[in-house]
Amino acid sequence: MNVGNFNRWLQEAAGQVGAHSAACIRMDNPVLKQRIAENNAVVADWLKAGRHGEMDYLERMFAEKSDPWKTFPFAKSVIVLAFTNRWGDPAATHPFSAPAGDALLGYISAYARETDYHRNGQAMLEELKTMLGDEVHAEIAVDTKAVYERLFATVGGLGIVGGNDLLRVPDRTNVRVFIGCLFVDAELPEVIHEPKMPFACDDCLACVKKCPTGAINFGQPINARKCISYLTIEKHSVLNREEGAMIEDWLFGCDWCSVVCPPKDKVDTRIPVDLEWLLKTPAAQLRKLIKQNAVAYAGVTQLRKNAVVLLKKMESPRADGLLDWVRKNSGSDLILRQIDLW
């Protein structure tokens, strides 16, 4: 298959599986090798500085991420998909009931709407793998293996990495994407785009200005220890008073640096959650409810720990009463320590 025919096939196949865009890179591409070497140096310094916080798995995965030729020794090409999973769509669904008007609220990031993006991305790539034929051996990675997904996406020209460390695509609308990679043992023609961005990130810096904690410094890796998404999802120990102040009213994730990349959402697409419902509903019932949702990654105990932090900051009789109920009824040592920490 020649380059033109494969390009057309890939774009049609990407549309058929529901992706936003697609690229294909040969694993012997010299630009890929150079970019990975440069990125390895940046990541090594970032890890050495401890800016990954409690995400020890990033240290463990570094050797595999830094050498995809060893991690995927069979691979001769990689197909990269960008897909939205309806991120930013106000009509996208989620499993949480609408809270009452007077409920004590916490918020979940809008990207947790719809089925977990890992599942949807894997399904897209499985379908694409089938289209390539049974004779092709392939492995799928959707934020589930040791892969620099954003780097592969930028080498493929699907977009650029913004100041918020997310892939920014050329569309002028509210398009925010996830990334999936399909490593294949076939020498496929390269499909590399030249993204025409409407303006450069350093002409905007909206994400830097919007971040309330100073986690984003343009041109540098994000300081995870100050990132609300890290604090609410990845930091599994108790939050100290300063960290508790940082998370504002978030239970899971944060949208501030993504809603302004551009343009700002016309409506609030965050997911509001009734804190009393979250804390009093049986854990098994909650796990069943969130099983297909991205928040399952954090788990019920993490969500409840964050809910406790939000309640402690409210300083209201209703919040204090709910905290007393949790203290008497929770069987989680982590949650009890969070209540008594400050």
- Residue 276 belongs to a domain: yes
Q: How many domains does the chain have?
A: 2
CB of 192 closer than 8 Å to CB of 153: no
Shared domain check, 159 and 189 = yes
- Residue 101 belongs to a domain: no
User: Within a 10 A sphere around the Cβ of 129, how many other Cβ atoms?
Assistant: 19
Shared domain check, 228 and 197 = no
Give the predicted TM-score (pTM) of the model.
0.95
- Residue 281 belongs to a domain: yes
Per-residue pLDDT tens digits for 213-238: 999 998 889 999 999 999 999 999 99
Shared domain check, 314 and 190 = no
Shared domain check, 180 and 83 = yes
CA 284 to chain CA mean position, Å: 25
- Tokens standing for residue 65: 């991420």
Shared domain check, 247 and 172 = no
Shared domain check, 119 and 25 = yes
Shared domain check, 224 and 79 = no
Pairing mode, if any, of strands 167-168 and 178-184? unpaired
- The per-residue pLDDT for 297 is 97
C-alpha–C-alpha distance, residues 275 and 9, integer Å? 48
**What is the percent of the chain where pLDDT is above 90?**
91
Per-residue pLDDT tens digits for 150-185: 999 999 999 999 999 999 999 877 789 999 999 999
- Residue 110 belongs to a domain: no
Pairing mode, if any, of strands 138-141 and 178-184? antiparallel
Shared domain check, 235 and 281 = yes
Per-residue pLDDT tens digits for 228-273: 999 999 999 999 999 999 999 999 999 999 999 876 788 899 999 9
Domain holding 288, by residue range, is 203-341
- The letter for the amino acid at 50 is G
At 2, is the pLDDT very low, low, confident or very high (cuts 50, 70, 90)?
low
